[in-house]
Structure 1
Amino acid sequence: MEADVSQDHNEQEEEENGVVDFERFHVERTKMIQPTSLKDPKLEKLKKALLDWINSTLKAEHIVVQSLDDDLYDGLVLHHLLGSLAGVRLPLEEIALTSWAQIRKLEAVVGELDKRLRQPDNKWDVSLIHKKDLLATLHLLVAMVRHFQPELELPSDVKVQVALVEVSERGIRSDVQTEVLTGESHISTDCNRVERLLTLEAHKVAVVKQGLLGFVNRSMSRLGLHVSDLDKQFSDGVILLLLIGQLEGFFIPLCDFSLTPANHVQMLSNVSLALSLLTHLGLHVSSVQAQDVVAQDVAATLKVLYALFSKHAKQDEKMAAHYV
Structure 2
Amino acid sequence: MSYQKSPARREPEKSEGFFSLTLGRKKKQRDSVNALDIEARDAIDGGTVTQEIDPSSFHLEEGEERSMIDQKSREAKDVVDLERVLMEWIDDVLVEQRIIVKNIQEDLFDGQVLQKLLEKLGDVKLQVPEVTQTAQGQKDKLRAVLDKVSQQLQIQSWNETKWSVDSIHSKNLIAILHLLVALAAHYKAPIRLPEDVHIKVVVVKKVGGKLEHRMVEEQITSTMDQMTGGKFERDAFDTLFDHAPDKLNIVKRSLIEFANRHLDKLNLAVTDLDTQFADGVYLVLLMGMLEGYFVPLHSFNLTPESFDHKVHNVKFAFELMTDAGLPTPKARPEDVANCDLKSTLRVLYNLFTKYKKN
**What CA distance in whole angstroms lies between the structure 2 residues aligned with 1:75 and 1:176?**
31
Aligned to 1:70: 106
Correspondence 1:156 to 2:195:
yes
* Structure 2 unmatched runs, 5+: 1-60, 226-231, 246-253, 260-286, 293-316, 354-358
1:277 aligns with one of 299, 309, 329: 329
Correspondence 1:89 to 2:146:
no
8 Å CA contact retained: 2:332, 2:343: no
8 Å CA contact retained: 2:331, 2:347: no
Deviations 1:244-268 (A, max 9, x none): xxxxxxxxxxx978599xxxxxxxx
**What CA distance in whole angstroms lies between the structure 1 residues aligned with 2:202 and 2:151?**
29
Aligned to 1:288: 345
Give the 3 Å change call, closer, same or farther, for CA 294–77 of structure 1 in structure 2. Answer: closer
Instruction: Tell me which structure has the larger Cα radius of gyration.
Output: 1
Aligned to 2:168: 129
Give the 3 Å change call, closer, same or farther, for CA 88–29 of structure 1 in structure 2. Answer: farther
1:152: Cα distance to partner?
Answer: 1.8
Tell me, what secondary structure is at the counterpart of 2:218? strand
Aligned to 1:211: none
**What CA distance in whole angstroms lies between the structure 2 residues aligned with 1:101 and 1:295?**
55
C-alpha RMSD over aligned residues: 4.2
**What CA distance in whole angstroms lies between the structure 1 residues aligned with 2:350 and 2:126?**
49
1:295: Cα distance to partner?
Answer: 9.3
1:122: Cα distance to partner?
Answer: 1.4
Give the 3 Å change call, closer, same or farther, for CA 56–46 of structure 1 in structure 2. Answer: same
Give the 3 Å change call, closer, same or farther, for CA 290–279 of structure 1 in structure 2. Answer: closer
Give the 3 Å change call, closer, same or farther, for CA 26–76 of structure 1 in structure 2. Answer: farther
1:31: Cα distance to partner?
Answer: 3.4
**What CA distance in whole angstroms lies between the structure 1 residues aligned with 2:207 and 2:125?**
41
With 38-47 and 25-34 compared, the bigger mean Cα shift is at 25-34
2:223 aligns with one of 142, 163, 184: 184
1:181 aligned partner, one-letter code:
I
Aligned to 2:87: 51
**What CA distance in whole angstroms lies between the structure 2 residues aligned with 1:64 and 1:292?**
32
Normalising by the residue count of structure 1, what TM-score does the alignment of the two structures yield? Answer: 0.53
**What CA distance in whole angstroms lies between the structure 1 residues aligned with 2:206 and 2:234?**
41
Report percent identity of matched pairs: 26
Deviations 1:17-56 (A, max 9, x none): xxxxxxxx98444432111111112211111111111111
**What CA distance in whole angstroms lies between the structure 2 residues aligned with 1:290 and 1:107?**
42
8 Å CA contact retained: 2:66, 2:204: yes
Aligned to 1:103: 139
**What CA distance in whole angstroms lies between the structure 2 residues aligned with 1:292 and 1:193?**
15
**What CA distance in whole angstroms lies between the structure 1 residues aligned with 2:347 and 2:120?**
36
1:74: Cα distance to partner?
Answer: 0.9
Aligned to 2:78: 42
**What CA distance in whole angstroms lies between the structure 2 residues aligned with 1:118 and 1:29?**
31
User: How many corresponding residue pairs?
Assistant: 213
**What CA distance in whole angstroms lies between the structure 2 residues aligned with 1:198 and 1:45?**
27
With 57-66 and 161-170 compared, the bigger mean Cα shift is at 161-170
1:197: Cα distance to partner?
Answer: 6.3
1:131 aligned partner, one-letter code:
S
1:58: Cα distance to partner?
Answer: 1.1
Give the 3 Å change call, closer, same or farther, for CA 175–97 of structure 1 in structure 2. Answer: same
Give the 3 Å change call, closer, same or farther, for CA 119–171 of structure 1 in structure 2. Answer: farther
1:65: Cα distance to partner?
Answer: 1.8
2:69 aligns with one of 21, 33, 44: 33
**What CA distance in whole angstroms lies between the structure 2 residues aligned with 1:149 and 1:79?**
18
8 Å CA contact retained: 1:157, 1:185: no
Tell me, what secondary structure is at the counterpart of 1:161? strand
Deviations 1:48-77 (A, max 9, x none): 111111111111112222111211111111
Aligned to 1:300: none
Compare relative contact order (CA 8 Å, sep 6+) and give the higher one, 1 or 2: 1
Give the 3 Å change call, closer, same or farther, for CA 289–140 of structure 1 in structure 2. Answer: closer
8 Å CA contact retained: 2:62, 2:209: no
1:181: Cα distance to partner?
Answer: 1.5
8 Å CA contact retained: 1:156, 1:182: yes
**What CA distance in whole angstroms lies between the structure 1 residues aligned with 2:144 and 2:64?**
25
8 Å CA contact retained: 2:78, 2:197: yes
Tell me, what secondary structure is at the counterpart of 1:63? coil
1:278: Cα distance to partner?
Answer: 2.9
1:134: Cα distance to partner?
Answer: 0.9
8 Å CA contact retained: 1:236, 1:294: no
* Structure 1 unmatched runs, 5+: 1-24, 200-231, 238-254, 261-268, 297-324
